Structure 1
């Protein structure tokens, strides 16, 4: 049986079990909400979508806070939720390797929010030449996501088009303010301190916006991440550039990066957020994520760890 069909069979069985136990999904608060449902692949996209949707559309994320999005394995309950969605929202650019199979038998339309973004190609490693999928890490590129959300939601609920347009314009203004904050923060750094070193190459778009050079252990989450060879190459780079601080992301292990710290003499600058928001502080929203990362990066590169 194909994997998707197996998910579907298991999901149907779960619904029957819940119904038989007196816990029908229609009794849940979400089922009582008559608004259209837009389902995103991860929490960052959900926050972007909620800012455009306002009160007109209910937005939920398939993955929970803290989930690693690249190799996520959908559950039967995920499939049930997708079956009940009116719209599916994905990042695209190869980020969600599981998504095509997940949606193979689902009727809801899918919108790829990165459509229209000029991708940055991965320069090294097994993924060389492929697009870097983390385009939302640029507040400039995130404006494209907002435009796509306005269009998608207007197609779904045409009567609320003006609301979506107004919400999108207001949020775009906040993105532009965040982009200005990024440029101003990095402008205060000496030229020779403008190198961002992370576990994953998830900051290429943000680095481009800010005028930062970039170094990382691996380009995209993959098996064998943080190998001794990867660490050795990065240690050499950190020593050559005299990088004061290195970072890692919240959804991956920092063990290999801690080895870089030990062998290079750099400080560990802290945990950055990329693929997931947090449950409360420090990054409950996408704008908080940008602010947190910008502040942490500039403090680390300025030697204030």
Structure 2
């Protein structure tokens, strides 16, 4: 009955959700998008079945949930969202579910967005920083351990291993940034999704727009980014895999610098791509940033 009541409101405008695997008896942990689903999967191991509502490559900010998403949410044993606005589209579904709900960004000291329509709102992309990603791991360690207490020791061990890997990546990033000329310690991206990583690594940040859902940049923001590139002569400007790169490519051409559109933020890649897991995403982005900036 619940599905029938909301089916008209939950249209199929969004990309189809992944097909739900058959129930194998384990508790279901349902996450809003592929990145946080994989963090949960790394922590849970075989103790739970972990699924993502959205597919690889889907733009998360303006996703529109479907009736099938409601069915899956009502069948979950634990619902995992990022929070801070990026996946608020799930909140109306969560309200109908009996499952516990963990909001991963509740453990984050938020960095506010400074410009544009979203100014003053928190930047939602904390997981891009290895240090903040480790906070997500800890929140999931507790939540999944509470869900499957008989597996708590194994869950704790997996969480510790993921945290150690993230700490190593964070150290690699900081050491690489320290090798850069100070003038080139600037991360120029399309979406302002790297504020937490930039802060933790000692990088300045410039972006064309603060949130993908907010548009493709204003004349003022485009001019500002072009000015930063001209002043600093950074070797490379970047874009994220789920954004439109045309404006950034033009800035790169005008300035005579490289363009790299391979950063992954809101979505993992396909299994044969460069970021099929969360840890691979972190390592891949750090590789691209350090290589692009000349470390």
Pairing partner for 1:296 from 275, 284, 288: 288
How far, CA to CA, are the matches of 2:10 and 2:193 in structure 1?
A: 35
Deviation at 1:7, TM superposition (A): 2.7
Instruction: Write the mapping of 1:30-179 to structure 2, written as runs, cut at 5 A.
Output: 30-179=21-170
Q: Deviations over 1:89-112 (max 9, x none)?
A: 001122113121232322222100
Distance verdict in 2 for CA 1:3–1:132, change over 3 Å: farther
Instruction: Write the mapping of 1:237-276 to structure 2, written as runs, cut at 5 A.
Output: 237-276=228-267
CA contact (8 A) 1:8 1:79 kept: no
Which structure 1 residue ranges, 4+ long, deviate > 6 Å from structure 2?
8-11
CA contact (8 A) 2:187 2:205 kept: yes
Structural RMSD (CA): 2.2
Deviation at 1:178, TM superposition (A): 1.1
Distance verdict in 2 for CA 1:29–1:199, change over 3 Å: closer
Give the match for residue 7 of structure 2.
7
How far, CA to CA, are the matches of 1:216 and 1:91 in structure 2?
A: 22
Q: Deviations over 1:163-185 (max 9, x none)?
A: 21111112111111111111122
- For the pair shown, which has the larger CA radius of gyration, 1 or 2? 1
CA contact (8 A) 2:118 2:210 kept: yes
Deviation at 1:8, TM superposition (A): 7.9
Q: Aligned with 1:31: secondary structure?
A: coil
Q: Which runs of 5 or more structure 2 residues have no equivalent in the other structure? A: 12-18
CA contact (8 A) 1:132 1:202 kept: yes
Q: Is 1:287–2:282 an aligned residue pair?
A: no
Deviation at 1:276, TM superposition (A): 0.5
Give the match for residue 212 of structure 1.
203
How far, CA to CA, are the matches of 2:37 and 2:87 in structure 1?
A: 15
Give the length in aligned residue pairs: 286
How far, CA to CA, are the matches of 2:20 and 2:62 in structure 1?
A: 30
